[in-house]
Chain A
């Protein structure tokens, strides 16, 4: 892992959406936007991630990769070193999946959210132009 040495630059930069495997919580997480997120569990494998309104999906979390790997290891003759390589593949796949799927869903949900907001807006009589 590359050490971040210029924290000031990091604080002001904007990264690209990317999936990361979080080893200590055994999950791959993809988030399209760096914002306050709300996690909604779907089942033991999948959690959807929404923005702070809980309306717009911004990512997903897939859980238990290491657990599955450990079960398949003896059957397929894998070793722990291969898990590291597998993680890189999974991160790349989930990044592509997220870029396509989440963006499409976000666009649809954004229209739905905008429509909902518009329904709640009360229009007052506009003043006549001078």
Chain B
């Protein structure tokens, strides 16, 4: 087991940033991180005002259940062209929603994580990783496919979502998800699109709140007719 001095040096080496002065509470405050070593465990907490590591329009690879085997996992990427178009149209809400519900992180904007966690501690978010159903075939023209036969649609239930808010503290705010809706996420396999990174199963092309079925409130309205088949339901 590492000793306390070893843990401290490991922390500082890994972060690439030397800590600042030790405060009266025994915690060292760095420029952007708070370090604490206690009970032989190292704790590194991002300082609330620290600038995020990622950039808003660059999404990491996302993990999801495989459409054809709910017990297996696949890697997906978020469509860069879709994000670029939303950015050009000044649509912040879908970009924020993608971070929250696809990546399962707050968008990398100032104060989004700490401030909102403090302001809305009870908020929980449905994410792609917690999708409870998956359909295939969207029954509408989709590029070369007359019926979007290869498009898969994940279904997510969520009580809360996030959106753009004109606030000095943070431009993101937590809000209740639209009532009687589910969040659908459309995915296309990699072979039908432009080249994708090695190991990536497909591309997330769209994510939308849609009205929920009255008979099955966890599924989209008219799910029996709008999709070709149900792949799995948990």
Q: Which residues of A contact B (CB under 8 A)?
A: 1-2, 4, 7, 10-16, 18, 20-27, 31, 34-41, 44-45, 52-54, 63-64, 66-68, 70
Contacts and interface: CB of A to CB of B under 8 A. Distances in A.
A38 to B, nearest CB: 5
B226 to A, nearest CB: 6
Nearest to A21: B85
Nearest to B204: A24
A40 B210 contact: yes
Nearest to B176: A52
Interface string B113-145: 000000000000000000000000001111111
B95 to A, nearest CB: 10
B178 interface: yes
B163 A67 contact: no
A36 B93 contact: yes
Contact of B205 (A12, A20, A24, A52): A24
A14 B208 contact: no
A63 B55 CA distance: 30
B91 A22 contact: no
A24 B81 contact: yes
B200 interface: no
A62 B86 CA distance: 16
B142 A39 contact: no
Contact of B89 (A7, A12, A15, A37): A15
Contacts of A7: 55-57, 109
A10 B90 contact: yes
Q: Which of A22, A25, A44 has the most CB of B within 10 A?
A: A25
Contacts of A35: 93, 163-164
Contact of A67 (B84, B141, B180, B206): B141
Contact of B88 (A2, A24, A52): A2
